[in-house]
Structure 1
Amino acid sequence: MRLDNRCHLRTVAGEHIILQPSATTGGDLRVVAFNETACLLWKTLCNSDFTPDDAVQVLLSHYDVDRATATRDVAIWLQTLRENQMLVSE
């Protein structure tokens, strides 16, 4: 899978957000807030194809968490991306 390259990560007033242009109208944007963990995953994986296990490995290498916690967090992150149509090539 791959992150939609039309989406852009921005930090505004200390908050991490993803800006996603509307697929149907030229000027509308969808805004999705990300926490630090989601932001790390986005920054690390934004320019490559990846698997859920690749994302788990990112968390395991950056945080002191067990595999079960990292796997759960990645599943939640991926679900958020799917719900907001921010993944391509699934």
Structure 2
Amino acid sequence: MKIKENYRVREIAGENLIVEQGKSQADMTKVISLNNTALFLWKELKGNDFSLEDVAHVLMNHYSIPKEQALIDAQKWVNALSSCGVIG
């Protein structure tokens, strides 16, 4: 999977939001606000093909958490981005 190129993170009113480039109006039903961990993953993985295991590996290395917890957290991140069509 890969984060689609037409999506960017913008800081708006102190929040890190994913926005789709080239749209004259934002679809507010698909707004995703990123916490610090989600933003970290975005920055680490943007532009690269990655698997769920890759996401978990980034989390394990950065936060020193067990693989089982990293996989759960990675799945939540992937699900959130997939549900809004950000990952292809």
Indicate whether the TM-score tops 0.5.
yes
Q: Offset of 1:27 from its aligned partner?
A: 1.1
| Other-structure match for 1:62 | 62
Q: Which has the higher strand share?
A: 1
For structure 2, list consecutive stretches of 5 or more residues without a partner in the other structure: none
Match of 1:2 in 2: 2
Corresponding residue SS for 2:6: coil
TM-score by length of 1: 0.84
- Aligned pair count reads 85
Segments ≥4 residues shifted beyond 6 Å: none
Q: Deviations over 1:28-57 (max 9, x none)?
A: 224310111111111010011111111111
Give the drift of 1:12.
3.0
Q: Distance in 1 between matches of 2:39 and 2:77?
A: 10
Q: Which residue of 2 aligns with 1:86?
A: 86
Where does structure 1 lack aligned partners over 5 or more consecutive residues?
none
- 1:71 aligned onto 2:68: no
TM-score (norm 2): 0.85
User: Which residue in 2 is equivalent to 1:16?
Assistant: 16
Report the counterpart of residue 29 of structure 1 in structure 2: 26
State how far apart, in whole Å, the 2-side matches of 1:64 and 1:13 are.
Answer: 31
Higher helix share: 2
Report the CA distance between 1:7 and its aligned residue: 0.6
Q: Which amino acid aligns with 2:20?
A: Q
CA drift at 1:59? 0.5
Superposition RMSD in Å = 1.6
Q: Is the 8 A contact 2:17 2:32 kept in 1?
A: yes
- Is contact 1:2–1:49 with CA below 8 Å preserved after alignment? yes
